[in-house]
Amino acid sequence: MSHIIDFPGNKPKQPDNVITDAPMRLKWGDWRTTNILQVHVRSAAGYEDYRAELIKKGRKPGGKMPAHIACTNGLNETALAVLRHRHNQEDLIKVGFLAALMETLVNTPCDILRTDLIRRVYGEVEKLSKSLDLSWRGGANRFMLPLLEDQAQLMDFKRRVAPLNRLNTLFKTLDEIARERQEKLAREYVFYYPRGFTL
């Protein structure tokens, strides 16, 4: 025979907490928290080994949390949008683009926002919010899911965006940022969602 036949039951059983492994790693959390947790892959791997050992012994694994970032102050809505659009890479990039656009509007003193082009920026926010079913509650002040290097490069986003004064350059730059960040989020992080969220 020139090929191998897969019989049912030959594939290793997927852990019960996996929502999806691609394009991003999303899992159900084992903890009593209402927050979505963003965990670096190294910490998540350690936790998953610990979890598997406890389950093997017939124990519940909810007693220990890996090092994490709790998605609050607006990050919750972004992380929920990731869950909704988990099967579509381009939509995930659009979620990142919209988050970067909101970051620009709320937290970045950008030249273009001092002109009448701000109406077009708000128009883009409204269009994307509607198509992605993503909006943030009043008081939200964080929109882009964080990366570890954000701490070391705190001003990088502002440095790239603040001087822009052309709309197409702004949108192109934010799209590049969204794609860069999406690639890193997919490669370097696992997101844990409280059980009970509707898929």
Domain ranges of the chain: 18-72+189-193, 88-185
Claim: this prediction has a pTM higher than 0.85: yes
pLDDT(177) > 80: yes
Residue 71 has pLDDT above 60, yes or no: yes
pLDDT over threshold 60, residue 187: yes
Whether 40 and 27 have beta carbons less than 8 Å apart is answered as no
Residue 10 pLDDT class (50, 70, 90 cuts): low
CB atoms within 10 A of CB 77: 21
Q: How much of the chain, in percent, has pLDDT values that exceed 90?
A: 74
- All residues at 6 or more sequence positions from 74 whose CB lies less than 8 Å from its CB, including other chains: 102, 136, 137, 140, 141, 142, 143
| Residue 11 pLDDT | 56
Percent of the chain at pLDDT > 70 equals 92
Cis bond leading into 12, ω under 30°?
Answer: no
Which own/partner pairs from 40-43 qualify as long-range (CB within 8 Å, at least 24 positions apart)? 40/67, 40/148, 40/188, 40/189, 40/190, 41/187, 41/188, 41/189, 41/190, 43/67, 43/68
Looking at residue 8, its pLDDT comes to 56
Give the pLDDT of residue 154: 67
The pLDDT of residue 67 is above 80:
yes
**Would the pLDDT of 169 be above 70?**
yes
pLDDT level of residue 2 (50, 70, 90 thresholds): very low
> What are the angstrom distances between the C-alpha of 172 and each of 9, 67, 97, 101, 121?
48, 34, 10, 11, 13
